[in-house]
Amino acid sequence: MIKKHIHIITLTIFVSFILVSCEKVIHLDLNSAETRVVIEGNITPGAGPYEVVIRTSGDYYTAEGIMPISGAQVIISDDFGTFDTLEEKLEGVYLTSKIVGESDRTYSLNVVYEDNSYSGSELLPIKVTIDSLGYDEIPKNAGPPPEEPENKVYNIYCYFHDPVETENYYRFTVLINGEEEENRRGNYNVTNDQLFNGQHIKYALWYVEAAPQDTITIVMDNIGFNTYEYFRTLNDALSSGGMGGTPYNPITNLNNDALGYFGAYARDNSNIVLE
């Protein structure tokens, strides 16, 4: 029998931008331009209900023009022939009633509004589980000083096995005592397994500011390719705009000039208490 040697790779990906968490609705049209339809929704494993939010875009610099879109026809279907017509529960917020998220199944979204049709699809990946978490404290003067005197700065490590048989895309979120770390709000920490397919990973989340006895939660989402591309290019767009470059809209899997994305992810999380 041929034994595989599993190598541990430390990934040191850290990005820092200024936008709301990816779990919140993103009202984004980085270019000041004509009003466009913004659609955002996700499918996850389980029975739901799942939410699709539909709004108009607005001016990124003034926030003017952002309005919920009411009265749209919204349907989510899967590749097994199940169709679910969503009900509008709040203005611009549509909920499923029967579609069930299952891994390795493709889901499609279709929105009809004012005689225009918008659609997109995404594969719901398999769930990848976290094996364990670890951390080390950064010595004083070796990293950014904490903003609060009682806090310290840590590197948090997430250990997991990447499946060898599939291409995988990941997004990581850091929570401190159940709340997203303030300094990382709006950080879309995403990566793919191009360099570590099938290996055992030690993924580093750098410079987490917290206090001893705080509970750190790492949320790891195995996201679809389209979801990954959206947040990867959203990072790039925000970076270019913040550095004086020309901002642009992130890649979307929606057609007909719509903004936003229709995504899918399978989530795992794990906790560790700092000593």
Q: What is the pLDDT of residues 238-268, one digit of tens each?
A: 766 544 444 568 899 999 999 999 999 999 9
Q: What is the pLDDT of residues 81-100, one digit of tens each?
A: 999 999 999 999 999 999 99
For the whole model, what pTM was predicted?
Answer: 0.81
CATH class of 8-17+127-223+268-273: mainly beta
How many Å from the N-terminal Cα to the C-terminal Cα in the chain?
Answer: 43
> Comparing C-alpha atoms, which of 254, 188, 247 is closest to residue 59?
247
Sign of dihedral through CA atoms 9, 201, 192, 228? negative
- Which ranges of 38-132 would DSSP assign to H, the alpha helix? none
Is domain 37-125+252-266 given the CATH code 3.30.230 in the classification? Answer: no
Q: What is the pLDDT of residues 190-248, one digit of tens each?
A: 999 999 999 999 999 999 999 999 999 999 999 999 999 999 998 877 766 544 444 56
- Spatial CB neighbours of 52, under 8 Å, sequence gap ≥ 6: 39, 40, 41, 74, 76, 86, 93, 94, 95, 109, 111, 262
Count other Cβ atoms within 10 Å, centred on residue 136.
Answer: 10
Could you give the residue range(s) of every CATH 2.60.40 domain in the chain? Answer: 8-17+127-223+268-273, 37-125+252-266
